Amino acid sequence: MKFADIIGQQALKRHLAESIDRGRISHAQLFTGAAGTGALPLAIAYAQYLNCPNRSGGDSCGVCPSCQQIAQLAHPDVHFVFPVNKQGKKSGEVVLSSDFMPLWREIMTDTNGYFTRQMWYDRLDLGKTLQGMISAKEADEIIRRLSFKSFESEYKVMIIWLPEMMNEEAANKILKILEEPWEKTIFLMVSERPDLLLSTIISRTQEVAVPRLTVEDLMPMVEGDEQQRRNTARLAAGDLIEMRRLTGGEEDAVRRESFDLFCRLMRLSYNDKHLELIDWADEVATLSREQQRSMLLHAARLLRESYMLHAGLGSISYLWGEEAKFCNNFAPFIGNQNIEFLIGEIETAMRQISQNGNARIVFTHFALAVSKQINRLR
């Protein structure tokens, strides 16, 4: 993967290329950002640029044997580790990333490296309850692989996707090699939730913060006149995965469901219907993690838009149709007194769901907390 294959992030791509050109290569780097910003593709493009013998103009050549092997995720000196698990795993059975490389190559090819953790878990067929993990045995395998001399390239590279999914034993096992790796050994970690990492890991890495994409980066993906394209790109909130959902046929049903759930939550909250709110939470708890995440993101956006309407900033609001009608009616109940708390409750629910919290408990607390805040402005 070349830097040119990655959407947007021009300044960051230049910075990464220049750091290699100047010999400023940190042995442990932590790429942080949402899945749809391109953090994983950037890490792979960095590894390809690092090992390309013909790099020029701030990018790898893309045609040499090293570039072609990395593009196919088959380079003997570029290793991948990611959360794995499997249904029906027997007690004591060990599953490693290497066992799932065909699926990894498949999802990378299908998405060009832009995919969520839940999308990966769906490929693994983990269902609604199982989550992937990076085990202590995987940490042993990392150390074993990197102990060998490089086969073809100057640098050995270990790309760890979602290091926050390492258990504590695994994280502790790699601390020493992370701090004092073998010569010409590079760690590239790609994290969506660096706040879940051990402080001892964070202190041993150099952060590469990957910002959200700009509206201008995303507009070419949308058809229609300029205003329609800009509105849709803004709704994606700088996330390419969300943009694909917005422009894909399947998004209509997901968006409709999320909007309906949001409207019901607000109406039940306004009317203080506690028993019905618990029923609402039970219904949401039956959805997949990805559907729950989509609903929460949708709720956060509509709450922010309602707040802008309440503040008299409707001219910069990006709402139309049923969303505009509902939020205009509901805006008087979203103000300075509760917007920060409501967004905080959404962020807490998303964090708890991502940590495999009990969905029924999470959404029951969420619904009741939202009801309390909505009634502050009645």
Evaluate if pTM is beyond 0.85. Answer: no
Residue 118: band (very low, low, confident or very high) from pLDDT cuts 50, 70, 90 = confident
Token pair of 269, please? 């909250």
**CB environment 220-242: b (16+ within 10 A), e (fewer):** ebbeeeeeebbbbbebbbbbbbb
Q: Determine the average pLDDT of the residues in 258-275.
A: 91
Instruction: Name the token pair of 266.
Output: 């607000």
* pLDDT of 21 higher than 70: yes
Which pLDDT score is estimated for 30? 97
pLDDT at 161: 97
Q: Which residue has the higher pLDDT, 361 or 231?
A: 361
pLDDT at 378 > cutoff 80:
no
For residue 226, what pLDDT band results from cuts at 50, 70 and 90?
confident
Q: What is the mean pLDDT of the chain?
A: 89
What interhelical angle do 289-310 and 251-270 show, nearest 10? 60
* Whole-number pLDDT of residue 87: 67
The 3 state secondary structure assigned to the chain is CCHHHCCCCHHHHHHHHHHHHCCCCCCEEEEECCHHHCHHHHHHHHHHHHHCCCCECCECCCCCHHHHHHHCCCCCCEEEECCECCCCCCCCCCCCHHHHHHHHHHHHHHHCCCCCHHHHHHHHCCCCCCCCEECHHHHHHHHHHHHCCCCCCCCEEEEEECHHHECHHHHHHCHHHHHCCCCCEEEEEEECCHHHCCHHHHCCCEEEECCCCCHHHHHHHCCCCHHHHHHHHHHCCCCHHHHHHHHCCCHHHHHHHHHHHHHHHHHHHHCCCHHHHHHHHHHHHCCCHHHHHHHHHHHHHHHHHHHHHHCCCHHHCCCCHHHHHHHHHHHHHCCCCCHHHHHHHHHHHHHHHHCCCCHHHHHHHHHHHHHHHHHHHC
pLDDT of residue 319: 65
Domain ranges, ordered by start, for the chain? 3-209, 249-377
Span 310-334, pLDDT tens digits: 888 766 666 667 888 888 888 888 8
Pick from 53-67, 293-307, 341-355 the range whose average pLDDT is largest. Answer: 53-67
Region 211-223: mean pLDDT is 90
Predicted local confidence at residue 127, as pLDDT: 75
Q: Place 16 in a pLDDT band, splitting at 50, 70 and 90.
A: very high
pLDDT reported for residue 67 = 95
Q: How much is the average pLDDT of 37-64?
A: 95
Residue 277 has pLDDT above 90, yes or no: yes
Look at 378 and 50; give whichever has higher pLDDT: 50
Residue 14 pLDDT more than 70?
Answer: yes
Question: Over the stretch 325-362, which tens digit does the pLDDT of each residue have?
Answer: 888 888 888 888 889 999 999 999 988 887 778 999 99
**Percent share of the chain, pLDDT over 90:** 58
Which CATH code of 3.40.50.20, 3.30.70.270, 2.60.40.10, 3.40.50.300 fits the domain covering 3-209? 3.40.50.300
pLDDT at 251: 52
Q: Is the pLDDT of residue 199 over 60?
A: yes
Instruction: Give the mean model confidence (pLDDT) for residues 97-126.
Output: 92
**Is residue 4 predicted with pLDDT exceeding 70?**
yes
pLDDT at residue 276, as a whole number: 95
pLDDT band at 105 (very low <50, low <70, confident <90, very high): very high
CATH T-level assignment (fold) for domain 249-377: Zinc Finger, Delta Prime; domain 3 (1.20.272)
